[in-house]
Amino acid sequence: MKTQDCAIRLREETGKIFIGKEKQVELIIMSVFAGGHVLLDDLPGSGKTTLIKTMSRALGCEFRRIQFTPDLLPSDILGMTVYDRQSGEFRLVKGPVFTHILLADEINRAIPRTQSALLEAMEEFQVTIDNETLPLTEPFFVMATQNPVERESTFKLPAAQMDRFFVRLSLGFPDRAEEVKMLSELGDSIDFSAVNVISSPEELMEIRAEIQSVHISEPVMQYIVELVQRTREDAALKAGASPRASRCLYQGGKSYAAMQGRDYVTPEDIQAIFLPVLGHRVQVTAEAKYTGKTEQQVLEAILESTPVPPDKGAMFNGAAAEK
């Protein structure tokens, strides 16, 4: 499958600059192939920006970066209409959002008004400037970073915006062997030119079309719904995950299966992406937090206690299902 081949080559090229964290890299690729946005939530210096720049280059997509600050305005992201003295007319100056991959660096440093400028772009893949609605470039992804520890001059992302991110990931620190390799190969400088372009925007759109043809059986869809429903019924959570979460598990499961070279989704595919897809969409209650429970612990318990559909092999195979 084209999806599997592209995923393998993308991992190889990313590994030239970004050492280790294969699982996180795989989940980012899954999100990109599914057309989703990514939030990297980690400490400064953990390689968030480096990873995004490396992957953008390998994908062959146009890439723009915005450093979010408290004085950043929505027009700095979307663009604005300006008066042209020579022509005597107003003309549109497009902002950096008109690109394939937009790096929103330290997104939680911008005021809520500026953060909200991305809501329409992330959900509807369009923006409205002075009452004119403009479509964004296809494909379009937001890859954002934020520091989860620092609180000075930061503004918490609203739930509506968090829900628009396909996955939230934390890279964490490298282990000793990975850090030694990083110093050995990249200690003096980072040569992004060593990364080969292995894809293109057009090929990504073809991959999306291939992913849409991946079969997902009725039992697996029921499994997705049951997992999400249980987040809404768990007393330890303030509110359950939205229907958008179900769609992300559905789309992510297809993308993950295609990356493994399969044309059908298994329950194991859903389990592999459940925590990163759902983790940022739920919150524990004050009572649960007081007892030491975390969102991850609650979701892990839901995953473990939810009955898994019997894996009959061909039962999940799209070709077999059509017969």
Q: Encode pLDDT of 103-121 as tens digits.
A: 999 999 999 999 989 999 9
Give the other-Cβ count within 10 Å of 76's Cβ.
18
Distance CA 14, CA 3 (A): 16
Q: 22-34 vs 2-14: helix axis angle to the nearest 10?
A: 140
Q: Supply the pTM of this predicted model.
A: 0.90
Q: Which range has the top average pLDDT, 185-199, 220-234, 279-293? A: 220-234
Could you give the dihedral angle defined by the CA atoms of residues 11, 12, 17 and 18, in that order, rounded to the nearest 10 degrees?
40
Q: Is residue 1 scored above 90 in pLDDT?
A: no
Contact between 225 and 84 under an 8 Å Cβ cutoff? The reply is no
Torsion of CA 106, 35, 78, 74, to 10 degrees: -40
pLDDT in tens, 255-281: 999 999 999 999 999 999 999 999 999
Provide the 3-class DSSP secondary structure of residue 215. strand
pLDDT at 297 over 90: yes
The DSSP-derived string for 282-294 is --B-HHHHHTT--
Predicted pLDDT at 294 = 92
| 19 to 12, 23, 47, 54, 81: CA distances (angstroms) | 11, 12, 9, 11, 43
- Chain segment 28-41, per-residue pLDDT in tens: 999 999 999 999 99
Residue 20 region by backbone torsions, left for phi larger than 0, else alpha for psi between -120 and 50, else beta: left
* Cα–Cα nearest to 69, from 107, 96, 101: 107
> pLDDT confidence of 24, banded at 50, 70, 90?
very high
Separation CA 152–CA 269 (nearest Å):
39
User: Encoding tokens for residue 128?
Assistant: 């409205």
Q: 3-state DSSP helix/strand/coil percent for the chain, to nearest 5?
A: 50, 15, 35
> Residues of 45-75 as b/e, b for ≥16 C-beta within 10 angstroms?
ebbbbebbbbbbbbbbbebebbebeeebebe
Residue 252's nearest CA partner among 33, 2, 102 is 33
pLDDT of the residue at 323: 40
Q: Is the dihedral of CA 148, 151, 154, 156 positive or negative?
A: positive
Bridge-based pairing of strands 132-135 and 126-129 is: antiparallel
- 13 — pLDDT class (breaks 50, 70, 90): very high
Task: Give yes or no for a contact between 20 and 174, defined as CB atoms under 8 angstroms apart.
Answer: yes
